Amino acid sequence: MSELDPNVHPDAKRETEILAAESEMYAPSAETVSNAVVPDYLALRQTALEDIEAFWDARATELVDWYEPYDRVLDDSAKPFYKWFTGGKINIIHNALDRHVKTWRKNKLALIWEGEDGEQRTFSYYRLWQEVNRFANVLKSMGVKKGDTVTIYMGRVPELSIAMLATAKVGAVHSVVYGGFSEAALASRIEDAQSKVLITCDGAWLRGKTINLKDIADEAVKRSPVVQSVIVYQRTKQDVRMEQGRDYWWHELMSLPIASPKCESEVMDAEDPLFILYTSGTTGRPKGILHTCGGYQVYIAATLQYVFDLKDEDRWWCAADQGWITGHSYIVYSPLILGSTSFMYEGSPDFPYPNRWWSLVEKYGITILYTAPTAIRGLMRYGEAWANRHDLSSLRLLGSVGEPINPEAWRWYHRVIGKENCPIMDTWWQTETGGFMITPTPVVPLKPGSATLPFTGIDADVVREDGTSCDPNEDGYLVVKQPWPGMARTVWGDPDRYVEQYWAEFSKQGWYFTGDSARKDKDGYFWIIGRMDDVIKVSGYRLGTAEVESALVSHADVAEAACIGVPDELRGNVIHAFCILNTGVTGNDGLAATLKQHVRTEVGPIAVPSQINFVDSLPKTRSGKIMRRLLKAQVLGQPIGDTSTLAD
């Protein structure tokens, strides 16, 4: 592997923060511990690692129903292609919906939604089940069957969840592309997944304006003609072009007789594919992470129950987008498996005013709020008066995900939002891990900025290049030494890439390498430092330097490009780009603006560099690899470290 260098600290500020917060402990109250769903969690953690199969076997029996039992918990005969619960027959929709409508939960609220414009919609388990059945029948009538892929590109509306659930119900594989991605990104993902059906919206609301998703979808379909049918959910009622014989309105299909509210869930093997989710890696090509039917649902149900302590009376708000893994695991699937009530909000946290979120917590009596550090920092900026106008006393637990939370934001979240009564669950995990990996539960004493301890049954460690464990407070590679049921199974259509990306670094030991650097302190608490590879986290969104670089060089004026992440107060990191222009072209502000726009259409708004520098050369190794860490050290004014591999 390439430029991994734990000795160059990506963020000197993080270093100072960790040292300052390491000895600051927040113990849970006696009441929190005695009321916890799993009060003996710390004791359980001690024993689970001795026999992970026994631990996961118990969760798989307790949390989900199987049509037919599995014969083996873990099959490791084809490492690193692990299999879980082999021989078991299951469907996630049976556990998320079908079984609940036969109990008192039938009339319990599954989902409460508020639009950015204030519109409200609610779904009981029964109503959601019917809607999913109806849409599943629509999909079937279009010829969608077990094993087919369906691409979904929508705004944050309940129908996005319904589309995913219906796809899983018929045994097809969904690939949700986040609504903020551009037509080029959508097209390459449709192409890679070979989806014949695309589900989209006319538009989406964002800060009082509409984004024309259907236009973007049309462009994408032009680029990847594999799509035969497009289903369009009407959200904004803006004008869109509908192509006869290809495009269909969601509401028209749902009013046809074929859209009956009865539909049996397809019986799936535990290891059949459930979904593909594209994420960024070290090359520009989209990387489709594959999760399967059995292990994934056991894992997300167990982690949500243990970590967020969900009880029947809770109102759970995971303020992510369904289009990311956080949304897949903890908005769409696991809250339903546990039979809980979720809240979902469509729009921007500060629209029309910076109190929007806090007014929603009060209005809907939210008990658990799970969000990202970038959102907390964004709202913190407006001052605490906006939160103090609202009664937030319904809250009992808070959560954070996506990037390291700086202790300052942690303390603000704890004091201003949680009123010092709500433990904060800082959950470290990845698209590839399916669910939480390093995280507290409500009974674990907290340190601001630390994701605390590996989840029970998770064998995580911080190691040196040779595999030996690091000493306390020594930075190293974050690895996982034993498999877990929620782990990704492969990269869609590219098993070699799966092995290369995650299992090559520590192939001798057979460990999973996360791509992150971390350290453990003297109490064994984990502190995540950041990515060691060419992945940048911008506002919690994951971007590959290669994606942004290939977008830049696809412009006629650019010969070569390199991108780095630079620490930013609000967004965690921002992107700085360095471009070598073609001969005869001069770099100026106008060209920089053009290139930013170009990245916006090629990847999406989140990928737009905050700064573009025009340069004559880029530092490279003798084998021709760009040494991004040198660019970064230069921008940050840090020592440039070892340059022995530098060509020039």
Question: Residues interacting with ligand WT7, by CB under 6 A?
Answer: 279, 325-326, 400-404, 426-431, 451, 514-516, 528, 531, 537, 542
Q: Please report how many Cα atoms fall inside a 13 Å half-sphere around the Cα of residue 456, on the Cβ side.
A: 26
Classified as helix, coil or strand, 169 is helix
Distance (Å) of CA 293 to CA 196, 197, 492: 22, 21, 15
Contact 597, 607 (CB under 8 A): no
Least separation in angstroms between residue 437's CB and ligand WT7 is 9
Q: Of the two residues 158 and 540, which places its CB atom closer to ligand WT7 in the complex?
A: 540
Q: Of the two residues 272 and 533, which places its CB atom closer to ligand WT7 in the complex?
A: 533
Classified as helix, coil or strand, 21 is helix
Q: Of the two residues 158 and 544, which places its CB atom closer to ligand WT7 in the complex?
A: 544
Which residues lie below 8 Å from residue 224, measured CB to CB, with a gap of 6+? 187, 188, 190, 191
Least separation in angstroms between residue 264's CB and ligand WT7 is 33
The amino acid at 246: R
Least separation in angstroms between residue 38's CB and ligand WT7 is 20
Least separation in angstroms between residue 281's CB and ligand WT7 is 10
User: Crossing angle of helices 589-602/545-553, nearest 10°?
Assistant: 120
Which is it for strands 512-520 and 526-531: parallel, antiparallel or unpaired? Answer: antiparallel
Q: Of the two residues 125 and 410, which places its CB atom closer to ligand WT7 in the complex?
A: 410
Q: Of the two residues 269 and 321, which places its CB atom closer to ligand WT7 in the complex?
A: 321
Contact 334, 283 (CB under 8 A): no
H or E element at residue 543? strand 541-544
Q: Of the two residues 366 and 372, which places its CB atom closer to ligand WT7 in the complex?
A: 372
Tell me how far apart the alpha carbons of residues 528 and 517 are, in angstroms, rounded to a whole number: 6
Q: Of the two residues 341 and 539, which places its CB atom closer to ligand WT7 in the complex?
A: 539
Tell me how far apart the alpha carbons of residues 482 and 461 are, in angstroms, rounded to a whole number: 11
Least separation in angstroms between residue 611's CB and ligand WT7 is 22
> Based on the number of CB atoms within 10 Å of its own CB, is 648 exposed (0-12), middle (13-18) or buried (19 or more)?
exposed
Least separation in angstroms between residue 443's CB and ligand WT7 is 19
Q: Of the two residues 115 and 540, which places its CB atom closer to ligand WT7 in the complex?
A: 540
- Angle among Cα 430, 431, 432 to the nearest 5 degrees reads 85
Q: Of the two residues 542 and 629, which places its CB atom closer to ligand WT7 in the complex?
A: 542
Rg (CA), the chain: 24
Neighbours of 470 (CB within 10 A): 17
Q: Of the two residues 470 and 585, which places its CB atom closer to ligand WT7 in the complex?
A: 470
Least separation in angstroms between residue 309's CB and ligand WT7 is 18
Q: Of the two residues 268 and 398, which places its CB atom closer to ligand WT7 in the complex?
A: 398
Helices and strands per DSSP (H, E), number in the chain: 21, 30
- Angle among Cα 140, 141, 143 to the nearest 5 degrees reads 65
Least separation in angstroms between residue 237's CB and ligand WT7 is 32
Tokens of 641: 């470290």
Least separation in angstroms between residue 325's CB and ligand WT7 is 5
Least separation in angstroms between residue 502's CB and ligand WT7 is 11
Least separation in angstroms between residue 540's CB and ligand WT7 is 7
Tell me how far apart the alpha carbons of residues 404 and 479 are, in angstroms, rounded to a whole number: 17
Contact 415, 408 (CB under 8 A): no
Tell me how far apart the alpha carbons of residues 131 and 488 are, in angstroms, rounded to a whole number: 29
Neighbours of 33 (CB within 10 A): 16
Least separation in angstroms between residue 400's CB and ligand WT7 is 6
- Angle among Cα 591, 595, 596 to the nearest 5 degrees reads 120
Least separation in angstroms between residue 563's CB and ligand WT7 is 17
Q: Of the two residues 187 and 401, which places its CB atom closer to ligand WT7 in the complex?
A: 401
Q: Of the two residues 166 and 318, which places its CB atom closer to ligand WT7 in the complex?
A: 318
Contact 551, 599 (CB under 8 A): yes
Tell me how far apart the alpha carbons of residues 373 and 360 are, in angstroms, rounded to a whole number: 19
The amino acid at 133: N
